[in-house]
Structure 1
Amino acid sequence: MLIEMSFKELIAEKRFQGLTENSLRSYENLFRHFGNWLQENDIEHTQDLTSQTVKAYLLHCKEHGNKPKTFNSKLKLIRSWVRWMLDEEIIDKDICKNIKLVREDDSPKIVREEDIQLALRHLRRMKRREDSLYSIRNHAIMITLIGTGLRVTELVSLDWNDIDFNDWLITIQKSKSRRSGSVPLSEALAKELRVYKSFVENRFKDMPESVFVNNEGERLTKNGVQLFIKRLKKELGIQGTFSPHAMRNVFIKRLLMNKANLREIQLLARHSKIEVTRQYIGYFQHELKEVLDEHDPLKGLL
């Protein structure tokens, strides 16, 4: 069977299974890159695939700068493809059997407090000076990321119907686990979103369904948010960690600094296991010294 045909059939199968568009795009991107590499190496048929083929491709990816997380993502997708071919009896051997994932650095990426303050000051100034969709929207995006801990895919999927200003609740239709969920809406964030919503209502003849939109009123993409944060980082000369997902860590850190307990943070961050929440304490220990000083158990004993 032609490898290109097997790629197309797997995509069709995954679409039938109800995979999200983001997941389907991951397969398509992998197959585009892997397919080009296979063609360059004159490998066209599934019967020509071996463990050495997969290892050579992954080594090629590593040599071209793929980080462990990207490397592992590609291997997982290839494993899924290989399992499907085994089930369909297109191949008769698991060519990924002895290929292992590499170790990832899964520690939270810490954004410096001064970088957050710098970015917010800059966005506030732009909002006052320009009074444009981009300046008001970008400020609202940053405030929403920090104020809710939403993941980027959750943020860009938000519709205005998902925000209940009366019950102080944001409904998430597409979470990481592909289940619906919700996060509380704070008074501070509600105020910012109301200002942004009022601007959008006046800016467009027909109110967009999506919360975060571009100049044409179309839903902002995940890539659009990432590019905005990347440009902001470059413009302000920020050297350390500064990304949309890192704002989720800012959300968790500030909850810890403001004395929320582990269970509360787990619920607000929507961690499936409290062990995931617990790891943040170690990374933010220096930030918690003031809390310890205020609630020092040795007070009154010495």
Structure 2
Amino acid sequence: MAVKTNCNKNGSNYFRVSAVLGTDSRGKRILKEFYGKSKSEAEEKKREYLEGIKNGLNIDTKRILLGELMNTWLFETIRVSDRIKPTTFERYEGIYRNYVKGSPLYSIKISELKAIQVQRYYNSLSEIGKSRNLIDNLNKLLKQFFNYAVDEGYLSKNPCIGKKIVIPGEKKLRKEVQHFTDEEIEILISGLKDNRYRELILLSIGTGLRRGELLALTWNDIDLENKIIKVNKSLAKVYIIEGDGSKERKEIIQTPKTRGSIREVSFPDNLTSLFKDIKIRQRRDKLKCGESYVVSNYVFTTATGNLIDVVNLSHAWENILKKCKLPHKKFHALRHTFATKLFENEVALKTVSELLGHSSIDMTANTYTHVIPKQKSDAVEKLNYIFNF
């Protein structure tokens, strides 16, 4: 039986239905037409459209592409938000530029987006070797964007919410964090004699502060009498991205990683002298540089008084390890060493978590799984006195 149609458009036969959307300023009815290969298909398109309007969908979304709208959202809303740090926006922009712009998702009309299209793209990324973690980060960003699209009426529902999307790839086992042994610490400390970064490295081991937190410290943050460091900011080197996409690499001082990162950290009494050594060196640097010295209140500065460049510090750190003939470990391993030594000395998990500025105890426990099992084992061994057969 032939399918009935009632109009011809561009040489093809379709079934056409129409809907009245309202009236214009002159009282004339506003009509919208829907076409299908059959009456039922045309009626279904009409129903979906009217249901979308009822649910608050933007009726002008038909030609808007996913990538174009995401670009607008990213650069005109997220970039100027005071809740987004420059480091976070730099990461978002990188994900968009590398995995949305130029991807199959970019040219999809936002009004026609289906979860299966997103899933297929994730699957294709996994097939070419992209990690599960990368795809998960892309999904998190898209989920934020789709929430915006729903709020603004471009989508009726977020395709990344619920169980519609599966992140492909195998979950990688968490690697044991790098830390220094007692023997390695002794070698490192011996090799730091007369090194400009000696105090910075020793304070990292003795306080567990992140590199950026250390570099952002001012003398107002140091309470020598009570042996406390107030952590309330962090230094980062990021690309500041303008609305037109242009970039400039800058060093910035920003609020710490999480709310829990704003904290007070005590330091061992034996490290008190380090701050006196820093002040003495800064006075010498100032005398040597004269008027060209940059006067600031920062604790860790270059020979000219400027903030320490994180890239230069990384190079210096590599050279220090080579000089000491120690295996390469990231600077962050100093922070892990601090935590590991606390656990080895039976400091409570909650206390370690607070000192590190972690957002939760679970994060601390999951990070230091290499230490905690031994701590549990040692705790159980203390019950041996009960079983004195």
Aligned to 2:384: 298
Residues 149 and 42 (structure 1 numbering): CA distance in 2 closer, same or farther, change over 3 Å?
closer
Please list every run of at least 4 consecutive aligned residues from structure 1 whose deviation after the TM superposition is greater than 6 angstroms. Answer: 289-293
**Distance (whole Å) between structure 2 residues aligned to residue 281 and residue 34 of structure 1:** 32
1:211 aligned residue (280, 283, 299): 299
Deviation (angstroms), 1:163: 1.9
Aligned to 2:32: none
**1:195 counterpart = 2:274:** no
Q: Which amino acid aligns with 2:219?
A: W
Task: Please tell me whether Structure 1 or Structure 2 has the larger radius of gyration of its CA atoms.
Answer: 2
Q: Which amino acid aligns with 1:256?
A: F
Q: Is the 8 A contact 1:211 1:219 kept in 2?
A: no
Aligned to 2:348: 261
2:165 aligned residue (99, 109, 113): 99
Deviation (angstroms), 1:33: 1.6
Deviation (angstroms), 1:201: 3.8
**1:143 counterpart = 2:202:** yes
SS across alignment from 1:136: coil
**Distance (whole Å) between structure 2 residues aligned to residue 191 and residue 66 of structure 1:** 48
2:88 aligned residue (23, 40, 47): 23
Unmatched tracts of structure 2, length 5 or more: 1-63, 233-254, 287-292
**1:7 counterpart = 2:94:** no
Question: Identity of aligned pairs, percent?
Answer: 20
Residues 160-183 of structure 1 show CA distances to partners (whole Å, capped at 9, x for unaligned) of: 322222332111113332353211
- Mapping of residues 31-50 of structure 1, within 5 Å: 31-38=96-103, 43-44=106-107, 47=110
Q: Which has the higher contact order (CA 8 A, sep 6+)?
A: 1
User: Could you say which structure has the higher strand fraction?
Assistant: 2
Q: Is the 8 A contact 2:221 2:229 kept in 1?
A: yes
Residues 114 and 183 (structure 1 numbering): CA distance in 2 closer, same or farther, change over 3 Å?
closer
- State TM-score, norm by structure 2: 0.59
Residues 229 and 5 (structure 1 numbering): CA distance in 2 closer, same or farther, change over 3 Å?
farther
User: Could you say which structure has the higher helix fraction?
Assistant: 1
- Mapping of residues 76-225 of structure 1, within 5 Å: 76-97=140-161, 98-101=164-167, 103=171, 105-106=173-174, 108-113=176-181, 116-117=184-185, 120-121=188-189, 124-125=190-191, 127-128=193-194, 135-137=195-197, 139-173=198-232, 174-178=255-259, 180-204=262-286, 205-214=293-302, 217-220=305-308
- Mapping of residues 235-274 of structure 1, within 5 Å: 236=325, 238=327, 242-274=329-361
**Distance (whole Å) between structure 2 residues aligned to residue 63 and residue 49 of structure 1:** 22
Q: Is the 8 A contact 2:188 2:321 kept in 1?
A: no
**Distance (whole Å) between structure 1 residues aligned to residue 318 and residue 129 of structure 2:** 19
- Mapping of residues 59-70 of structure 1, within 5 Å: 59=123, 62=126, 66-70=130-134
SS across alignment from 1:16: coil
Q: Is the 8 A contact 1:271 1:277 kept in 2?
A: yes
- State TM-score, norm by structure 1: 0.73
Once the two structures are overlaid, the 10-residue window that deviates more, 273-282 or 253-262, is 273-282
Q: CA RMSD in A?
A: 4.0
